Amino acid sequence: MIWSKEETLSREEIEAIQLERLKETVARVYERVAPYRKKMDEAGVCPEDIKSLSDLSRLPFVTKQDLRDNYPFGLFAVPREELVRVHASSGTTGKPTVVGYTEGDLKTWTECVSRIACMGGATRKDYAQICFGYGMFTGALGLHYGLENIGATIIPSSTGNSQKQIMYMQDFETSLLVATPSYALRLAEVAGEMGVDPKRDLHIKIALVGSEMLTDAMRDEMHRVWGEDMLITSNYGMSELMGPGVSGECEYMDGMHINEDFFIPEIINPETGEVLPVGERGELVITCIKKEGLPLIRYRTKDITRLNYEKCRCGRTFCRMENLSGRSDDMLKIRGVNVFPSQIEEVVLGFSELGPHYEILLEREGYNDKLTVRVELLTSTDSFSVLEDITRRVREKLKTVLGLDAKVTLVSPNTLERFEGKAKRIRDLRGIK
Amino acid sequence: MFAKQLTIFIENRTGRLCEVLNVLKKNDVNILSLSLADTTEFGLLRLIVDKPEAGKERLAEGGFSSLLSDISIIKIPHSVGSLQELLEVIDNSGVNIEYMYGLSIEDDNAYVVLKASDAEKVDKILDENGVVTVGCEDLIHIK
């Protein structure tokens, strides 16, 4: 089902809405947000220069650092009393980044998430269990109000207490799961430990996963443990832009439809900042064109993807962004080679002898980077040759995919750390960046 | 006859071996013999216990995966040259020995645990040559 008629507008209609809203947003931000006005002045561009969508590229970028520099409310475009809610990002270093919503922003947010939930197959009949952490993180409340808006029944179980989560799923006949892909896999593990088979004993047919990349291998693994008939779609967003609801996959799972009447996407070369032609892979930059509280212009998401403007089989005309292939800031440089953790994940998940959890360890040995991948061994054996064979095959596969020699370490099942929110699988002990 | 050996994969980390042994202790599984072979990364703990099947189940509940495999527990005279003679018999048959470890527990006799590439064939050869093999339960009674 398609939630809003806007999702099927023609390209001309979409661009007309975008241009009108862009002009309005730039004028308002220039007037009300001093730090951004300063950036525009320095770049020698004023609101009147924005005459077409292609003029967008004349505007300066906003980065996470700008949000930190203006902590907490410096980039807001409304007086504080206009805000009805604030959230903060999970900032792992220093101050978090604070975002705020007016009443209008909350309505926009709910609309955006309702569309994404519908794309992922949700209906008013669903019992939706939200296994994202409630609190300052935008994920849980974003999905909460969007799903509630379409009439689904919300089970706000948050994260943690995984055994109780499984009990709710069984007793309430949960039909829809909201979680990170890694927590969805963890929940299946916990169910197994409790003697509950997710395929037979639970009723979950839909998973809306987000806040973490969903690789094809991860989706396959989810199908294996949760059932082949589960509809697993990923959705995308970040608190700086709104939270979840920026884009999401439809049932064809061929890229995430961006809510283009609210967000304008661009793809840039992360090193030079230049806009790349349609179809090329690079860093996603998003301009919010209908936000009141925190309307960020040309926000650098650091996420690596590419755009596809072809009409989708589902009937939607909004452009699609490919599932993320990494983040420009968690791209690892190992012995001069660019490596995305997702590439390592694909390799690990390709081995039935190994569990889906892994850890990437980077160390410095003399002048060399040393990469170690720690994986859980599921197979039982009494022979070293079997263990050596698995290690060798994983190592060879990593070499083919990454072009790098890695050390592979086998550990016992259930010994690597499990994550309920975003997984932190990389330990970089090199002391250099 | 064959006997069952319980093998557990453990990574080289302080306390890991103790955790495994703790599961066995709590469940009253008695260890009759063991061999711990290791590389720098991990080890294989091979155990002969009085209750192999129960041991495997209890370990699984404790989060350790293990494997039961067929091995021969061979009784040989506790004297110079007897092991060499035994190996000669096996070698002549063309069966490959994957590993072995010993337990010397009687005045007159010793026992060795032997894992062969073909457990059935080696069992037959031992029988034909009059070599005595015992089961795990027999080891309990040896004083």
CATH number for B38:
3.30.2130.10
Q: Across the interface, do B7 and A378 touch by the CB < 8 Å criterion?
A: no
Distance of CA B20 to the CA centre of its chain: 17
Same domain? A369 vs A225? no
Q: How many domains does chain B have?
A: 2
Q: Are A347 and A336 in contact (CB under 8 A)?
A: no
Look up the domain containing A376 and give its range: 332-428
What's the domain range around B98? 71-140
What is the nearest CA distance from B9 to chain A, expressed in angstroms?
7
**CA separation for the pair A373, A354 (Å, rounded):** 12
Nearest-angstrom CA–CA distance, B57 and A342:
35
- Better-scored residue on pLDDT, A149 or A402: A149
Q: Is B97 on the interface with A (CB under 8 A)?
A: no
Same domain, A49 and A154: yes
Q: Answer with the one of B24, B40, B69 that is the final residue of a domain.
A: B69
DSSP, collapsed to helix, strand or coil, labels residue A28 as helix
Token reading at A225:
């443990």
What local confidence, expressed as pLDDT, does residue A382 receive? Answer: 87
Q: Read off the pLDDT band of B136 (50, 70, 90).
A: confident
User: Taking residues B76-103, what's their average pLDDT?
Assistant: 89
Residue A432 has pLDDT above 60, yes or no: no
Domain co-membership, B77 together with B118? yes
Same domain? B89 vs B65: no
How is residue A173 written in tokens? 């006949």
| One domain, residues A61 and A12 | yes
Are residues B81 and B64 part of one domain?
no
Per-residue pLDDT tens for A287-334? 999 999 999 999 999 999 999 999 999 999 999 999 887 777 777 878
User: Cβ(A376)–Cβ(A413) under 8 Å?
Assistant: yes
**pLDDT at A187 (0 to 100):** 94
Predicted pLDDT at B143: 58
Q: Which residue of B has its CA nearest to A408?
A: B41
Contacts of B37 in chain A (CB under 8 A): 384
Q: Is the pLDDT of residue A275 over 80?
A: yes
Distances, alpha carbon A5 to alpha carbons A9, A191, A324, B133, in Å: 7, 40, 27, 80
Same domain, A277 and A374: no
Same domain, B75 and B64: no
CATH number at residue A402: 3.30.300.30
B66 contacts A410? CB cut-off 8 A: no
Residue of A189, A354, A357, A412 for testing the chain B interface, max B β-carbons within 10 Å: A412
Domain tally for chain A? 2
pLDDT tens-digit readout, A202-213:
999 999 999 888
Mean pLDDT is lowest, of A3-7, A122-126, A218-222, for A218-222
- pLDDT score recorded for residue A127: 98
Residues B134 and B78 both lie in one domain = yes
Last residue of a domain, one of A302, A327, A352: A327
Across the range B81-90, mean pLDDT stands at 91
Residues A277 and A366 in one domain: no
Quick one: tokens of A331? 């791209």
Residues A50 and A52: their CA atoms lie apart, in Å, by: 6
Enumerate the β-bridge partners of residue A372. A361, A407
Cβ distance of A380 and B44 shorter than 8 Å: no
Q: How is residue A125 written in tokens? A: 């009949």
Q: What percent of chain B has pLDDT over 70?
A: 98
Nearest to A157 by CA among A420, A422, A357: A420
Q: Which of B44, B63, B64 sits opposite A384 (nearest CB)?
A: B44
Chain B residues in contact with A383 by the CB 8 A cut-off are 44, 98
B86 and B96 share a domain? yes
Of A306, A327, A348, the domain-final residue: A327
Strand segments (E) across B12-131: 31-38, 42-49, 66-77, 97-103, 109-116
* Cα gap B51→B70, rounded to integer Å: 14
Task: State how beta strands A127-130 and A153-155 pair.
Answer: parallel
Burial (CB < 10 A; 0-12, 13-18, 19+), residue A54, is exposed
Residue in chain A lying closest to B98 (CA): A383
- Contact status of B109 with chain A (Cβ, < 8 Å): no
Q: Do residues B115 and B83 both lie within one domain?
A: yes
- Assess whether pLDDT exceeds 90 at residue A430: no
- Mark yes or no for CB contact B7/A381 under 8 Å: yes
What number is the average pLDDT over the span A119-140?
95
DSSP assignment string, A251-283: TT-SSEEE-TTTEEEEEE-TTT-PBPPTT--EE
Among B38, B69, B100, identify where a domain stops.
Answer: B69
pLDDT band for position A433 (50/70/90)? very low
Angle between helices B119-128 and B82-92 (to 10 degrees): 120
Residues A288 and A374 reside in one and the same domain = no
Point out which residues pair with A237 in neighbouring strands.
Answer: A244
The ipTM estimated for the assembled molecules is 0.79
Q: What average pLDDT is seen over chain A?
A: 93
Mean pLDDT of A114-132: 97
For A8-51, how does the pLDDT look when each residue is reduced to its tens digit (9 = 90+)?
A: 999 999 999 999 999 999 999 999 999 999 999 999 999 999 99
Summarize pLDDT for A86-101 with one digit per residue, the tens.
Answer: 999 755 556 788 999 9
Q: Using a CB-CB distance cutoff of 8 angstroms, which residues of chain A are in contact with residue B115?
A: 382
CA atoms of A366 and A379, how far apart (whole Å):
35
Q: Are residues A283 and A153 in the same domain?
A: yes
Same domain, A171 and A303: yes
Residue A271, pLDDT score: 83
**Per-residue pLDDT at A369:** 86
- Write down which residue in A266, A300, A327 finishes a domain: A327
What the block records as the tokens of B125 is: 């050869």
For A119, counting Cβ atoms within 10 Å of its Cβ (0-12 exposed, 13-18 middle, 19+ buried), the class is buried
Same domain, B82 and B133: yes
CB-CB: which of A380, A383, A415 is closest to B66?
A: A380
Q: How far apart are CA A322 and CA A346, in angstroms?
A: 16
Same domain, A89 and A203: yes
Segment B22-67, tens digit of pLDDT = 999 999 999 988 999 888 888 899 999 999 999 999 998 888 889 9
| Residue A194 domain-assigned (yes or no) | yes
